[in-house]
Structure 1
Amino acid sequence: MESLSIDRAMPFSREAEQSVLGAMLLDTQCIPDAMGICKADDFYIERNKELFNTIIELYNLGKPIDIVTIKDQLTLRGVFESVGGLEFVMETMNMVPTTRNVKHYAEIVAQKALLRNLIRISEKALEESYRGDEEPEAIIGKTEQQLIDLSQARSSKGPVHLRTYLGQSVEKLAELSENEGDLTGITTGFIDLDKRTAGLHGSELILIAARPGMGKTSFALNIAQNAAIDSGVCVAIFNLEMPGIQIANRMLSSESMVSSESLKKGNIRDDEWEKIGEAVDVLSKADIYIDDTSSITAPEIVSRCRKLKMEHNLGLVVIDYLQLISGSSKGDGNRQQEISDISRALKVMANDLNIPVIALSQLSRAVEKRESKEPMLSDLRESGAIEQDADMVMFLYREGAYNEAAPEPNRTKCIFAKHRNGETGYEFLTWLGEFTKFSNWSGSREE
């Protein structure tokens, strides 16, 4: 096959760059128009970049823009001679055909810069692929994230008038007013939790944390199961420590009310087979996807979620658990910073895909050393920016896990330690350990 001959020169337009600058020099009303479309780094020719920055500096300082002020500012920046002096400035002013087309010229500059960035991202992916010291999935994930970031940077809409958001707000209120009850988001399947949260909403990052043995994985799976079955939502579950078949068994136990121990050992009574069959039928119709990749990075999770969003209208993500997500620094970075970067990536994903993201987290052992074993925000392990990024932080605490003589050994306290869009506080749930399931609490709220 004959190879295609391609001009490898970086794409740019000298004429467009100088026309943008010339229009800005001749008419200050062109400056905000140009600034809204392109930035200094979009200029390929270095001296054009310097002149653009100089014009912007003068404009932001409220100073007049003419030959004298431009020369003075370029001199202060120490680049007057290197850019070509007044001859370059005059040439630029004479270059522009008409100032009326400044937006069009700026678009050309921005588009050429976009092409150059695409080339750089592609070249980096090629280099990493040839080097071969990373998993292909990792390279794909990083490259896709870089492309997404590039696209989003270009699609930034800038300031929007309040009336636009007011219109959207009224539309949303009208939509909500037609709903019966107080649930405005995806149901958790738990009455008291839904009352407190009004459901799980798009763009929310929800953190569920507890010490081992409290049932945080079961709790998250229960929510995922309830959302898929009761709200008809497409759910993605990323479990980094448990194979998919174990997750399926847990869901089967909680749906059929056949003990997980019986399912594990195969000790099924005749009357339980019918329950299992009914549960399989219900769960098979639920739109749930399980990814049990044990070593996965945040970019890979984001990439797979974007694909599910496009193909299946993904509505909820559950990640078990945060500290098991691989970092991208190949072991030479600070783990706390890596966790902070991961939590930030998950929050950005929740925003971009407009879906709630539930992330499970470990708690530090400091909890065990205190007289009171109830978790606090300071107990979040490798917390970094986790608390800051999360819209909601829920802790699970069960006195019966520490004290066998507890009056209500199965009563589990769900503590809302942070609730950006609502009140903090707590609700109670009932732990049905035999079925790896939580249910609504019907007892007293007194502690």
Structure 2
Amino acid sequence: MSAPKPWHLDFDALFSLARPAAAPTTRRARAMNESAALPDPRAQPYRIPPHNREAEQALLGAILINNGAYERVSEFLQKDHFADPVNGRIYEACGKLLERGQMANPITLKNFFDQDGSLADVGGAQYLVKLAASVVTVVNAEDYGRTVYDLYLRRQLIDFGETVVNEAFKHDLDATAESQIEAAEEKLAGLAERGSAEGGSRPIAAALAGMATEAAEARKRGGNALGLETGLADLDRILGGMAPGNLITMGARPAMGKSALACCIARHVAATGTGVGFFSLEMRAEEIAQRLAADATEIAYDRIRRGALDDDEYARLKDAERRLSGLPLEFDDTAGLAIGQIRARARRMRRRRRVGLIVIDHLHLVRSSGENRLQELRRISSGLKEMARELEVPVLALCQLNRGVEGREDKRPQLSDLRESGSIEQDSDAVIFLYRRSYYLEREQPQRRSGEDQIAYTGRLADWSASAAAERNKAELIVAKNRHGRTGMAAVFCDLALSRFRSLAPERS
């Protein structure tokens, strides 16, 4: 057997492959080349999007014969749901006439379409007469409407699927696969919401039955809370708990302890076995875990962060890690999430862990689209409220307050201090303000006045020290709005070094 020839790269052959092939020189060759480029129609037949023209015509005929049929479908059916645009325009015209209190029939509609070229293509006004004359019964009008609507959703699903495929084929450095999945989830969820055509009114008996069930559940809890308890008894007595579907906004100035309080509430809810989804747009998940560990171990948060621990404290930290790891608590610390991304991820949390509480820290860090900030905040707050209703869980959203608080003598927050948007107050079912008088006292240490003797200054300094010491571990939770109950103030114990908030003991409150 002869030895194999040594491998070498033939540059001439390589360049010949890169050069375009010569064009066919004969008519027959050109025809064969063109036919080869065309797709074989038998390989992938063209599929017409689902529609039912007969159902559309039967519905319109029923409406023209009996205008009451329009009321049965108008709640869920719109002109854009018709596959035939002409039928959609007729449906829209019927609705406009009926809203004016007029009848909708071929005669009253004739003037609308006399000059309409699109209607002329299907027979002009005679088409209206044909629709009305072809009706057998109006009893099935709602069924026709449901059919039209269902086929519309199917066409939307087809369009959605094609969009997802096309976006996935694009190689855009700014659009990762994960961001495309989140965008697809948001669009699909929106389509699902539009597809829920069974909403609308309910009889009073159904509402009363639901009310009785909720009252029975609250009675089992001792009459104190209908929703999830925060772990702060006085606050729960005012709020009645965090109810499903409610948006609870917690506002405070920076350094008051909003995040620490949210961690305490999240930990308490998770300790009862209810899943919690925590969106931290400000801190990393590890920093939140440090706060939880500080409360669980009674080791200062700052010392855990710096690792300044002796052997005993480190052993306590590892024990807290084991205990806290079993809690149904899930963090998402992705910075700069938009409201649509938060809703998509919250849906996933709801499916995966059956979370019963969503925490957002904080609302003003939700990414905007660059439009007017007030309008964007309005969209964010309404989006959080819609998310609470959609997932049937309470949403606890933290919020910064504006600097107007600092200019007042009494620095307790008010609803007007909600930063940048009154829509936050409007969309919230409850608004809670966190206030610590000690924060301001610590920054108001008296200085010796000109000409003041030492005794007078020492007395003022002693009074200040006594006030600061008395307020050091106290905080006020001011319920400024409560859509479902009373407002008021709950005094609580706080130790920010341990990221701890607790109910005050009866003798101390």
Whether the TM-score (by the shorter chain) exceeds 0.5 is: yes
SS of 2:83 mapped into structure 1: coil
Q: 2:401 aligns with which of 363, 377, 390?
A: 363
CA contact (8 A) 2:114 2:125 kept: no
Match of 2:344 in 1: 303
The gaps in structure 2 that reach 5 residues or longer are: 1-39, 443-463
Match of 1:47 in 2: 86
Q: Which whole-Å deviations, capped at 9, do the CAs of 1:111-135 have from their partners, x for residues lacking one?
A: 2211232244445545555272434
Q: 2:374 aligns with which of 332, 336, 340?
A: 336
Is 2:392 aligned against 1:354? yes
Is 2:487 aligned against 1:424? yes
Q: How many aligned residue pairs are there? A: 441
Is 2:307 aligned against 1:243? no
Match of 1:200 in 2: 242
Quickly say closer, same or farther: Cα 1:363–1:135, change in 2 above 3 A. Answer: farther
Is 2:295 aligned against 1:254? yes
Give 1 or 2 for the bigger CA radius of gyration. 2
Quickly say closer, same or farther: Cα 1:392–1:83, change in 2 above 3 A. Answer: farther
Match of 1:145 in 2: 186
Match of 1:410 in 2: 473
Give, in whole Å, the separation in 2 of the partners of 1:443 and 1:171: 32
Quickly say closer, same or farther: Cα 1:241–1:175, change in 2 above 3 A. Answer: closer
Q: 1:265 aligns with which of 277, 292, 306?
A: 306
Give, in whole Å, the separation in 2 of the partners of 1:164 and 1:34: 22
Match of 2:58 in 1: 19
Give, in whole Å, the separation in 2 of the partners of 1:12 and 1:375: 58
Give, in whole Å, the separation in 1 of the partners of 2:337 and 2:43: 37
**What is the one-letter code of the residue matched to 1:236?**
G
Residue 202 of structure 1 and its aligned partner are, at CA, apart by 0.6
Quickly say closer, same or farther: Cα 1:181–1:95, change in 2 above 3 A. Answer: closer
Give, in whole Å, the separation in 1 of the partners of 2:340 and 2:178: 9
CA contact (8 A) 2:364 2:400 kept: yes
Match of 2:451 in 1: none
Quickly say closer, same or farther: Cα 1:113–1:236, change in 2 above 3 A. Answer: same
Residue 277 of structure 1 and its aligned partner are, at CA, apart by 4.2
Residue 393 of structure 1 and its aligned partner are, at CA, apart by 1.1
Give, in whole Å, the separation in 1 of the partners of 2:411 and 2:75: 54
Identity %: 34
Is 2:476 aligned against 1:439? no
Residue 314 of structure 1 and its aligned partner are, at CA, apart by 0.7
Give, in whole Å, the separation in 2 of the partners of 1:37 and 1:428: 49
Q: What is the TM-score of this pair, normalised by structure 2?
A: 0.80
Quickly say closer, same or farther: Cα 1:444–1:180, change in 2 above 3 A. Answer: closer
CA contact (8 A) 2:261 2:500 kept: yes
Q: 1:217 aligns with which of 238, 259, 264?
A: 259
Q: What is the TM-score of this pair, normalised by structure 1?
A: 0.90
CA contact (8 A) 2:86 2:119 kept: no
Residue 35 of structure 1 and its aligned partner are, at CA, apart by 2.7
Match of 1:280 in 2: 321
Q: CA RMSD in A?
A: 2.7
Residue 349 of structure 1 and its aligned partner are, at CA, apart by 0.7
Is 2:140 aligned against 1:101? yes
SS of 1:402 mapped into structure 2: helix
Quickly say closer, same or farther: Cα 1:10–1:91, change in 2 above 3 A. Answer: same
SS of 2:397 mapped into structure 1: strand
The gaps in structure 1 that reach 5 residues or longer are: none
Residue 65 of structure 1 and its aligned partner are, at CA, apart by 3.9
